[in-house]
Amino acid sequence: MIEKYFAKIKGTGRYVPEKILTNFDLEKMVDTSDEWIRTRTGMSERHIASESQAASDLAYEAALKAIEDANIKNKDIDMIICGTISGDHPFPSTACILQKKLGLKNFPAFDVSAGCTGWIYGANIAKQYVENGLAKNVLVIGVEILTKITNYQDRNTCVLFGDGAGATIISRAEPKDISRFIDTEISADGSHYDLLVQHAGGSRMPASQKTVEKNLHTVYMEGNKIFKLAIRSMYNACDIVLKRNNMDVKSIDWLITHQANLRIIQALGKKLKIDENKVIVNIEKYANTSAATIPIALDEAIRNNVIRHGDIVLLASFGAGLTSGSLLLRL
Phi, psi of 283 (to 5 degrees): -60, -30
Is 267 a binder of ligand UT7 (CB under 6 A)? Answer: no
Q: Which of 148, 220, 223, 239 is the binder for ligand UT7 (CB under 6 A)?
A: 223
Of 283-302, which residues contact ligand UT7 (CB under 6 A)? 288, 290
Looking at 82, 116, 158, 238, which residue is catalytic? 116
- # chain residues binding ligand UT7, by CB under 6 A: 21
- Nearest to ligand UT7 of 11, 115 (CB atom): 115
Would you call the peptide bond into 139 cis, given omega within 30 degrees of 0 as the criterion?
no
Of 82, 94, 19, nearest to 49 by C-alpha is: 19
Q: Are 83 and 291 contacting, i.e. CB atoms less than 8 angstroms apart?
A: yes
Instruction: Please report the DSSP string for 71-139 in residue order.
Output: T--GGG--EEEEE-SS-SSSSS-HHHHHHHHTT--SS-EEEE--GGGHHHHHHHHHHHHHHTTS-SEEE
- Please provide the size of the chain in residues: 331
Q: Which stretch binds ligand UT7 (CB under 6 A): 4-12, 37-45, 135-143, 278-286?
A: 37-45
Is 227 a binder of ligand UT7 (CB under 6 A)? Answer: yes
Is 159 a binder of ligand UT7 (CB under 6 A)? Answer: yes
Helix (H) or strand (E) holding 325: strand 323-330
Cβ partners under 8 Å of residue 173, min gap 6: 5, 6, 7, 8, 179, 180
Looking at 23, 47, 96, 258, which residue is catalytic? 258
258 is catalytic: yes
- Nearest to ligand UT7 of 159, 301 (CB atom): 159
Q: Are 180 and 330 contacting, i.e. CB atoms less than 8 angstroms apart?
A: yes
Is 230 a binder of ligand UT7 (CB under 6 A)? Answer: yes
Pairing of strands 254-257, 279-280: parallel
238 is catalytic: no
Q: Which stretch binds ligand UT7 (CB under 6 A): 71-79, 143-151, 221-229, 279-287?
A: 221-229
288 is catalytic: yes
Q: Are 141 and 166 contacting, i.e. CB atoms less than 8 angstroms apart?
A: yes
Q: Which stretch binds ligand UT7 (CB under 6 A): 142-150, 180-188, 220-228, 235-243?
A: 220-228
Is 156 a binder of ligand UT7 (CB under 6 A)? Answer: yes
- Nearest to ligand UT7 of 201, 223 (CB atom): 223
- Position closest to ligand UT7 via CB: 223
Count Cβ neighbours within 10 Å for each residue of 301-328 and write b for 16 or more, e otherwise: bbeeeebeeebebbbbbbbbbbbbbbbb
Q: How far is CA 11 from the centre of its chain?
A: 16
Is 192 a binder of ligand UT7 (CB under 6 A)? Answer: no
Q: Which of 56, 233, 261, 326 is the binder for ligand UT7 (CB under 6 A)?
A: 261
Binding mask 43-82 toward ligand UT7 (x if CB under 6 A, else -) reads ----------------------------------------
Is 319 a binder of ligand UT7 (CB under 6 A)? Answer: yes
Q: Which of 155, 232, 271, 303 is the binder for ligand UT7 (CB under 6 A)?
A: 155
Name the site residues for ligand UT7 (rule: CB under 6 A). Answer: 32, 36-37, 40-41, 116, 155-156, 159, 196, 221, 223-224, 226-227, 230, 260-261, 288, 290, 319
User: Which of the residues are catalytic?
Assistant: 116, 258, 288
